[in-house]
Amino acid sequence: MRYFIGNWKMFGVPKSINILNKINSFSSKHLSFVKGVCNCNSIFSDKPYRINIFGIFQEVVFCKASFSTEYRVSNSNCKLFLAIPVDGSIYEGESSVDESMITGEPMPVHKSVHDKVSSGTINGKQSFIMKAEKVGNDTLLSQIIDMVNKASRSQAPIQKLADKISGYFVPIVVLISVITFVLWVVFGPEPKYVFALVNAIAVLIIACPCALGLATPMSVMVGVGKGAKSGVLIKNAEALERLNSIDVLIIDKTGTITEGKPSVDKIGVQSAKYHEKEVLQYIVSINQMSEHPLADATLKYGKEQGVELLKVNDFNSVTGKGVVGTIQDKKVALGNEKLMQEINAVIPDELSDDVKAQQKLGKTVSFLSVDAIAIGYVVIRDKIKASSKKAISELQSKGIDVIMLTGDNYDTAKAVAQELHLTDFKAGLLPQDKLAEVELLQSKGKKVAVAGDGINDAPALAKSDAGIAMGTGTDVAIESAGITLVKGDLQGIVKAHNLSQKVMGNIKQNLFFALIYNSIGVPVAAGVLFPFFGILLSPMIAALAMSFSSVSVIANALRLRKVKL
């Protein structure tokens, strides 16, 4: 009897389920897809279902996940069986787990017996047995989703400036029209009622709030179009307005400041017998047979450098330590210090010092030894995006406090902060910790914007005054944010903030034009010039003048198409 873990949501049932497949001669690698549709409410029972699996009908029992149930998480080729279905701890076995959807960090984490694992995270290339500890709404992933929903509901809508003005403008104009009628009736020449009616109507016509009504939507429409052309997608005008008033920007590290992909940062050599290309060739060659996730980064780097792979014999993967093998009759080992100790490799003091310096920077370092002598090392890191430093500097020059919050370790966060000249950062934070930081700043009266790309950033994005998601990030982050940056780099935040300032400035200009025009036009329409110059404003002329005010607002809004972001 075999247990396979999968997410039935892929088949339309929004629950993680345990598939008990009573197959004696059917290989697990063939159980790639289950073809069948069952009612969500009735599927979980002891009754077996006959389901067509690659043309073979087999009896399958579906049951709800429950506390203390044991599950085998397989390294099947089918992605359905790679996702961990519930929160729990490993009971037997070990593997590397991609926790990026929870922590936002790209480096897979090695998990062994008694280590905790979370639902939704992705298993690596090994199998293990886990015991369920939290299921359903109690899982960390469900809690994150719940936090996003609560944060979204707690956001109060902004009262638009135009709405405030209109609330006073319209009744004032009506009152002026009535006063105009009364004054002409009382003090006007004959036919006084005709003059009173004509001038009262002229006041209403020339003060028609068309320009006032166009002031905001025209600027927003042109501004959103300009943003789209510049790679800044605006979900709504509210997000654009909120961004203009921020004084604190919280940014995630991985995928926001950095590329979000492990890559080779440096090849170190501490031997006169070998040069860097030879060391790299050994590293790439020994890793070609490795299943460790970081091996992919070295293989990719080797391919970019045009490295020729050497044949590897007697390959062996030492779990949690590294890999060993024979290349050209030489004993080659690549791994951490524990592996070097296990094979009794000699590590020169100078090389050891270099590695420790890299590790203090929070980078992952592997030693390379040949015939039990360490000759070099490889440093793997998540590179900082080329635009990050310049963008942060520009934001700081605008008076915006930039704070980095990350789920990564302190050393890595400190290294990134120093490189970017960030004085304020916090490391080792979970999604709820980031949300708490946003709430703390808001309680101090700060207007907070949050930029992130992962599910772990979603609660903070939803709670912030202005949420900015990287277009290269997860759908949940994009859905939680009001602004999305297509290219996914921090320079987009600078563009978005510049656009917000330009649009809000343009709206205020439009409102000024509309109000100053009415401030001049209404008294003239009321007949204030008649006692001195005998001039009255015809309602037809008032209608023409009113149209010109709308045209001026539209023309001013169209200037946004040419602004530089």
User: Residue 497 and residue 225: Cα distance in Å, rounded?
Assistant: 15
> Quick one: which of 64, 50, 68, 49 has its CA closest to 16?
64
Locate the DSSP E strands across 200-321: 232-234, 248-251, 258-269, 313-318
Cβ neighbours, 10 Å, residue 387: 16
Interaxial angle between packed helices 388-397 and 491-526, expressed in degrees from 0 to 180 and rounded to the nearest 10:
40
Which two tokens mark 144? 């994150």
Q: Is 428 left (phi over 0), alpha (psi -120 to 50) or beta?
A: left
Q: In angstroms, rounded to a whole number, what is the distance separating the alpha carbons of residues 561 and 565?
A: 10
Residue 129's beta-bridge partner residues? 72, 92
**Catalytic residue among 87, 98, 252, 489, which?**
252
Q: Cα–Cα distances in Å, from 175 out to 148, 167, 182? A: 47, 13, 11
CA distance 74 to 382: 28
100/460 Cα distance (integer angstroms): 16
Tell me which amino acid residue 346 is.
V
Q: Which amino acid is at 250?
A: I
- Is the N-terminal amide bond of 459 cis, ω within 30° of 0? no
Q: Are 459 and 144 contacting, i.e. CB atoms less than 8 angstroms apart? A: yes
> Is 87 known to be catalytic?
no
Nearest partner of 207 among 172, 180, 161, 179, judged by Cα: 172
What are the structure tokens assigned to 180, written together?
């105009």
Residue 330, beta-bridge partner list? 327
Residue 288, CB half-sphere, CA atoms under 13 Å: how many?
A: 17
Q: Are 287 and 322 in contact (CB under 8 A)?
A: no
Distance (Å, whole) CA 35 – CA 14: 16
Count CB neighbours of 104 within 10 A: 29
Amino acid at 370: V
d(CA 326, CA 385) in angstroms, rounded, equals 38
Paired tokens of 95: 């593997």
- Which residues neighbour 194 within 8 Å (Cβ) at sequence distance 6 or greater? none
Q: Which residues are catalytic?
A: 252
